[in-house]
Structure 1
Amino acid sequence: MKCFNEESFKVFDVEGLDERMVAIRANIQPIFAEIMAEVSARLSDDVGYETFVHIAQHRRRTRYAPEGSIAKFSKKSILV
């Protein structure tokens, strides 16, 4: 499984919204997706129902590049 490292977080130093979002989508989101798929499968087994993962896409953001990114779990699928 992939993991974040110090290099991963340098994407948040990238200047500009468009440039930072490209870096986040290329370097952060794939790692989130792999980790969260594993965690979601284990969590689903533990709680007894299917869990869904949502990784923040920041699609509606028009300025102010994000200082971080998140992933969250839900009991229902989130349509985007």
Structure 2
Amino acid sequence: MSNLFIIGNGFDLDHGLSTSYENFRKYLITKYPNALNIKSSFNIKSTAMRYGRKTYNLEKVVAFLIAVIYFS
């Protein structure tokens, strides 16, 4: 068998994998420490790129995610 499909909730945590929201929040803080100094906001403005694409300030997005996970 080359693929593993996990269906349901809790399988990963029950098997000791670090996949909780708190683990993800800690990863974000480790990877993007400056995001802790940014006030989180639901209103993150995009910057227009070529071909109609948009980009967002990554640290602002991470600050928002950290706040959402923390207050959940």
TM-score, normalization: structure 1?
A: 0.29
Identify, as 1 or 2, the structure richer in helix: 2
Q: Quick check: which has more Rg, 1 or 2?
A: 2
TM-score, normalization: structure 2?
A: 0.30
